[in-house]
Structure 1
Amino acid sequence: MWTFFEYETYLTAVDDLMDHPAVRAMERLPQHAKGFSCFHHSVWVSYWSWRVCLWIGLDACAAARGGLLHDLYLYDWTSQKAPNGKWHGTEHPKTALKNAQTFFSLSEKERDIIVKHMWPLTLRPYRYLESLVVSCVDKVCAVAELLRLHPDPAAFRTARQEPRLRPVPRPRAA
């Protein structure tokens, strides 16, 4: 059902992030739908943000990178509050930005994407159109996950995995 157009090209924008232990730690954290981790959600948001920005002529690389790191908060939001004890919905962008800056060198645009992706909850206006794109894509992906319209997590590959072979369809018996 899901075809990832130019996925290998997308991976070149995020390959230095994709296999980092902090990013991979998101695989152990739940997200909106059972069986779909924070990592898979972030890759999905990152990929579709990259596609939209590519299509409309924005900085697709910054959108992909900011999208991948937008939920790098690294705690189970379903069983605990944000580290500062406040509500996850408004606080996790700041935690994600702090974590992302600890592990990676970020552009101003990538920082803006991460910290403002929860607009309007965060009440901070966007400085870049890429931030608006990632925020909108994040919301669409979250709803799709809740409705079980997401791809199988096995469909996502990291930059260092070999491409998956697609099964050859069997000919129909006459």
Structure 2
Amino acid sequence: MWNLENRAAFRACVADLLNNPEVQKMREVRQHVQDANCLQHCLFVAYLSFLFCRKFHLDAASAARGGLLHDLYLYDWRTHEGHHMTMHPITALVNATQLFTLNDKEKDIIVKHMWPLTPALPKYAESFVVSTADKLCALAEIFHIYRWLRVGEHLDFQPNKPAKAL
């Protein structure tokens, strides 16, 4: 799972996204638990989605990119006014399309990652993969399983730096 080849291939798919200052701002947004931020969560979702899609010959690059941007909303959902559960995918898509050129799969992944809480059915298999990975990663964070998996050590990609060997 954490081998250098997988991490290097993943990094190649998302390096331009990770080097963007707005994406890096996700580090400042707390996610499901106190010690996990939005960027860590999105990297975890993106990496699991990438691995699954790569293994089953789906579009791993789009899954990685859409997965990384799926929560690009940049606000604290605990204090935000409005219906975060259903509205943040739209906010994330607007933010992502202002920063990057996205393909149709990446857009679908971002806007439909909360399915079935949002009514529109995902159009692509990769969208289902990211939606499922998002829920699995949230549970892993809530139950602190992600610490046992050493997710932070393996996916702490800094801008403009290559993945380190472990």
Give me the TM-score of the superposition, normalised by structure 2: 0.91
Structure 2 vs 1, CA of residues 63 and 162 (structure 1 numbering), >3 Å: closer, same or farther? closer
Shift of 1:79: 1.8
Change (3 A) 1:142 1:72: same
Inter-partner Cα distance in structure 2 for 1:147 and 1:165: 27
Which structure shows the higher helix fraction?
Answer: 2
- 1:67 touches 1:134 (CA, 8 Å); kept in 2? yes
Aligned residues with identical type, % of pairs? 42
> Secondary structure at 2:73's aligned position in 1?
coil
**2:62 partner letter:** A
Q: Which is higher, the Rg of structure 1 or of structure 2?
A: 1
Tell me the residue number matched to 1:39: 39
Partners of 2:65 and 2:165 lie apart in 1 by 27
* Cα distance in 2 for residues equivalent to 1:62 and 1:91: 22
1: CA distance, partners of 2:28 / 2:118: 26
1:51 matched residue in structure 2? 51
CA offset digits 1:49-107 (Å, max 9, x no partner) = 000000111000000000000000111112223xxxx2101100000000000000000
For the Cα contact (< 8 Å) 2:7–2:163, is it kept in 1? no
Mapped pair 1:110 → 2:109: no
> Which sections of structure 1, spanning at least 5 residues, go unmatched?
167-174
**TM-score w.r.t. structure 1 length?**
0.87
Alpha-carbon separation, structure 1, partners of 2:151 and 2:111: 28
Provide the secondary structure at the position in 2 that maps to 1:127: coil
Q: 1:3 — aligned with what?
A: 2
1:124–1:39 Cα change, 3 Å? same
Rounded Cα–Cα distance in structure 2 between residues aligned with 1:10 and 1:22: 20
Q: 1:165 to 1:110 in 2, by over 3 A?
A: closer
- 76 and 56 in structure 1: CA distance in 2 versus 1, 3 angstrom threshold: same
Structure 2: runs of 5 or more not aligned: none
Shift of 1:164: 3.8
2:56 and 2:7 map into 1 onto residues whose CA distance is: 18
What are the equivalent positions in structure 2 for 1:65-80 lying under 5 Å apart? 65-80=65-80
Native 8 Å contact 1:11 1:159 kept in 2: no
Distance 1:60 1:159 in 2: 21
Is 1:11–1:158's contact at 8 Å kept on the other side of the alignment? no
When the two chains are superposed, the root-mean-square deviation of aligned CA atoms in Å is: 1.6
Q: Which piece of structure 1 moves more, 95-104 or 156-165?
A: 156-165
CA distance in 1, matches of 2:73, 2:3: 26
Distance 1:80 1:132 in 2: 27
Structure 2 contact 43–68 (Cα < 8 Å) conserved: yes
Structure 1 stretches of 4+ moved >4 Å? none
User: Aligned-pair distance for 1:153?
Assistant: 2.6
